[in-house]
Amino acid sequence: MKKKLITTLLLLLVCLSGYSQISWNAKAGVNISNTINSGDVDFKPGYQFGVGMDYYFNDHWGIQPSLMLISKGYKIKGDYPPFINKSEQLKSYDITDNKVYVELPLLLTYRFNVSGKYKLIFSGGGYVGYGIAGKTKNTATLLNGSIRKEKMDSFSEGVEKFDTGLAAGATLEYKEKYSIGISSDFGLQSTQSTFKNRTYGLTFGYRF
């Protein structure tokens, strides 16, 4: 089912490319991410970049499929590590989870003229993603002051690579070429236990 959904979206990208109303764009930017339903975790800075296309049915309404590479994850630290072993006399922990996803957002867009050179575009829809890489770094401080560092695969056993959720954003476009936009992803798929991804991004784009 998951593979069929991703394949359908890829075929949609190919089929839409045959219409003259389509334009292509490249975009890159930064983001912050964490997970919900996982307790008190902090946002982790990351990146996102990719390509997309815009197909407009008329002057205002259109759809925007994209292919993105995006980093997600979280940071958490405290005085009592979740993996505590009293025999090791652990004092504190600092964990950073870095995951990298290939993501396919499909958004419904509405644009209107702000002035002769500027357009404002609102978008909303959903996305599917698949985790391709990731490392979780654990830095533990022992009571004697020594530091213990560990690295492990973020997609170890029990962690779901497939992700899907809702997406929304707003973009300001200049001369139908240059753009700056904000975006947000809210995961619906539990990737680990009840954890769900949440991401906010700032992206700069260029339309071909």
Provide mean pLDDT across the span 85-103: 80
The CA distance from 2 to 205, in Å, is 29
Provide mean pLDDT across the span 117-139: 94
Q: What mean pLDDT is reported for the chain? A: 86
pLDDT > 60? residue 121: yes
Look at residue 6 in the predicted model and tell me its pLDDT.
Answer: 58
Look at residue 16 in the predicted model and tell me its pLDDT.
Answer: 52
pLDDT > 90? residue 192: no
Look at residue 19 in the predicted model and tell me its pLDDT.
Answer: 47
More confident residue, 16 or 53: 53
**In which band, very low, low, confident or very high, does the pLDDT at 90 lie, cut at 50, 70 and 90?**
confident
pLDDT > 90? residue 33: yes
2-74+97-133+160-207 CATH pick, 3.40.190.10, 3.40.50.1820, 3.20.20.370, 2.40.160.20: 2.40.160.20
More confident residue, 146 or 179: 179
The CA distance from 130 to 2, in Å, is 10
pLDDT > 70? residue 2: no
Which of 4-18, 89-103, 140-154, 188-202 is predicted least confidently? 4-18
Q: Work out the number of other CB atoms within 10 angstroms of the CB of residue 69.
A: 14
pLDDT > 70? residue 60: yes
Cβ neighbours of residue 8 closer than 8 Å, sequence gap 6 or more: none
Question: Side chain identity at 83, as an amino acid letter?
Answer: F
Instruction: Please say whether the beta carbons of 182 and 172 come within 8 A.
Output: no
Question: Side chain identity at 156, as an amino acid letter?
Answer: S
More confident residue, 87 or 125: 125
